[in-house]
Amino acid sequence: MRKHVRIGLLGCGTVGEAFAELLVERRAAVADVSDITLDLVRIAVRDPDKPRSSALDPKLFTGDVHDVVKADDVDVVVELIGGTGPAGELVRTALSSGKSVVTANKELIASQGPELFAEADAAGVDLFFEAAAVAAVPILRPIRESLLAEDVRRVVGIINGTTNFMLTRMMSDGLSFDEALAEAQRRGYAEPDASADIEGADAASKIAILASLAFNQAVPVDGVSREGIVGLDREDFELAARFGFVIKLLAVAERFADPIGGADAPGAIGAQVFPALVARDHPLASVRDSFNAVFVTTSAAGELMFYGHGAGPRPSASAVLGDVVGAADQLLRGRHRHIPVGPTASLRPARELVHSYYVRADVDEAPGVLSEVTGVFGRHGVSIRTVDQRGSEQQARVVFITFPAPEHALDSALSELSELAHVRGVHRVLRIHA
């Protein structure tokens, strides 16, 4: 006999409506393969009278969120409001009311995840959040289940579909930053206020979630250093191509062998988001448009790559629906999954992390200037791999490619360079991921 699980939805915006439509569309197929019938019984929205998809029964809509989170006829709550304000309180209310919760709220999970996991455990219910990381790409469940016994050492990836779409257009079509952003907004990849994407906040939340699960240590989002893609221009892409690179916004989390706090402490974790030069023959270089990809490096399995759509309402809705089926199955079995996130991580400061760098500067075209500049790098422990100099009789554009060095060493070198009379400006510094 098929079992019915009743779903209550909070929010029916772009993703919420796509999820509700997909649930209705796939309801019979889910029942056929799982013996579970998902019944959408309530949808809380700000304006219940607003016209909605014809696939959704108008009688489902309510303007009172507590009609969902406290209702006796709701078994699983799907939170698609976003943000940390009312959404966090509503998730807590649902959990304490004995309801499992599915959310796509990356900001909430990144900032309050450990507390919410503990509340779900205490209530004996589930909290699922696959769509909070990389939309349709199934990455969280493999990390917390398939790789649970693995020693995960590094997670690196392209995890923001909006910026990857923009960078693809800037690289392949020569669009300016503003033109690429406008196109992303027209296509629905970017919100009217795209600051969370272009400034790296969205990717920082996602890598905090991924790192917390991968390393079994809570990585706070405010411990992720981040730089966005604002300010990149056509010349950056032209020079990157000349040196055999593409530009991608990367999120990187790595666990180091040497601990902070004594021999028995877990290894420190470094977590960053930054635009980087990626070698053209690296698999991440071929990830285009709104697609995402994540590399997970482990001790036994080696390198694993997860790839798929990282933006768009349907891909996100797919991940949410998969979680709803999982939560329903757990509910009917009378059990829940513990989320394996341990104590708060010891974070390695960004200034101690090591990278190779691309540095673009303008200098006076005069005898001894290049030697003076390279001498500054050397004094601060930054070795130069490649120098490319082009210019006129008065001024030269110089690009330096360095060997790996700590960020504090490069910062010290750049600080001294800014004081040299013959250096007119350092216009771009990018890390390199080969």
369 token code pair: 């200037």
State how far the Cα of 219 lies from the Cα of 187, in Å rounded to an integer: 33
Enumerate the H helices of 35-135 as residue ranges: 66-69, 86-96, 106-123, 131-134
Task: List residues bridging with 402 in a β-sheet.
Answer: 384
Q: Give dist(CA 80, CA 12) in Å, integer.
A: 7
- 349 secondary structure, DSSP code: P
Helix, strand, coil shares of the chain as percentages rounded to 5?
40, 30, 30
State how far the Cα of 140 lies from the Cα of 147, in Å rounded to an integer: 10
Say which of 99, 106, 206, 248 is annotated catalytic.
206
Catalytic residue check, 206: yes
d(C-alpha 226, C-alpha 199), whole Å: 8
Specify whether the CB–CB gap between 109 and 136 falls below 8 A: no
Which segments of 80-197 are extended strands (E)?
100-103, 127-128, 152-158
Q: Give the catalytic positions in this structure.
A: 206
